[in-house]
Amino acid sequence: MINKKKYIILVVILFCGLFIFSLFFKRDIKQESNKSDSSKLVSGGGEINNIEQKYCNFFPKRRRLDYKPELNEKGAIAVFFDERGQKKVLYQKNKEKKLPIASLTKLMTAVIAVENYDLQKTVKVSKKAVATLEETGKLRPGERITIGGLLDLALLVSSNDAAAALAEQMGEEKFVKLMNKKAEEIGMKNTKFANPHGLDNKNNYSTAEDLAFLTQYSLIYYPRIWETLSKKQKIIRSEDHLGSSIEHCANNTNKLLAKDYVLGGKTGYTDKAGDAMILAMEAPGIAEGKVALVLLGLGVAERIPRTENLYDWVMWGWDWGHF
């Protein structure tokens, strides 16, 4: 009987062992199957992550060494920069040469205005501001207009009277002092401002490289400026000294807004500065970032065709990944 009992116990133990083994075996098969499936997902996800990482880290590479931009400038730069602050210079000529910059000055004027003023506030335009020479927003003495309206006129039609009116709100001397302080803060080491509009003055100058810094800085921190610079036209409403309504139809002086990836730009011209241009664009393809193009000291009426030529070279002379 003892042997029989032992035999029964042994059979029961063996049966239980087989049952437990079968459970673990099925679980292992299932886990292996899930692991295999999840391995495919992870592999796929890994590929995606790798691609995303590659996209995030993608910097443009020179594609056509035989393709060169046809320019006629005294100073220029085309530079790619990403959100991490990494940069790659795509083109440069005399990038640190100090040159008059005409109305490209107004990009810094806009920065100081946005930083220090309530853009919704209505102000009165002075006779002195209206008397400012050259480009005009057709402002009238005593006209009541918002500071935002003055900013838009200064940026879109390069209005010198609007730029002067902006500076007058705190006093031109103080305003220009803030322009120079900001230039120093953001690393514009070869720049000096003498006025808010860019009319010729030996103490109003910058470099292509410094203006690229300013473009990058304003794109990151002052979207309001580039929202205006992206528009082809804007109606700006105000009132004259009698309270009658006025409409300023501001047509953007930048004729390259229709180009792919272009975010906006600023034009400039004086007799001493010649034609000048800043153009900002989203990086094409898989590169994540923006490109600033700056051209200084161009011949008369050359800013659009020469900037377009540099734009084309940036687009097709460089590999941006698939786009």
Q: Which is catalytic among the residues 103, 206, 218, 238?
A: 103
Q: How far apart are CA 184 and CA 217, in angstroms?
A: 13
Give the type of residue at 113. A
Q: How far apart are CA 191 and CA 211, in angstroms?
A: 9
What are the residues whose beta carbons fall under 8 Å from the beta carbon of 267, sequence distance 6 or more? 103, 158, 253, 254, 275, 276, 277, 303
Q: How far apart are CA 248 and CA 245, in angstroms?
A: 10
Q: How far apart are CA 79 and CA 290, in angstroms?
A: 8
- Going by C-alpha positions, the residue among 240, 100, 225, 103 that lies closest to residue 160 is 103
What are the residues whose beta carbons fall under 8 Å from the beta carbon of 308, sequence distance 6 or more? 256, 259
- Going by C-alpha positions, the residue among 221, 253, 247 that lies closest to residue 110 is 221
Q: Which is catalytic among the residues 95, 158, 159, 206?
A: 158
Q: Which is catalytic among the residues 106, 182, 266, 290?
A: 106
- CA-based Rg of the chain, rounded to a whole angstrom? 31
| Token code pair at residue 75 | 């100073």
On whether the CB atoms of residues 303 and 269 are closer than 8 A, the answer is yes
Q: How far apart are CA 56 and CA 42, in angstroms?
A: 20
User: Is 106 annotated in the active site?
Assistant: yes
- Going by C-alpha positions, the residue among 265, 183, 216 that lies closest to residue 87 is 216
User: Is 36 annotated in the active site?
Assistant: no
User: Is 230 annotated in the active site?
Assistant: no
How far are the Cα atoms of 69, 200, 245, 254, 288 from residue 108, in angstroms, in the given order?
28, 16, 30, 18, 25
- Supply the residues annotated as catalytic: 103, 106, 158
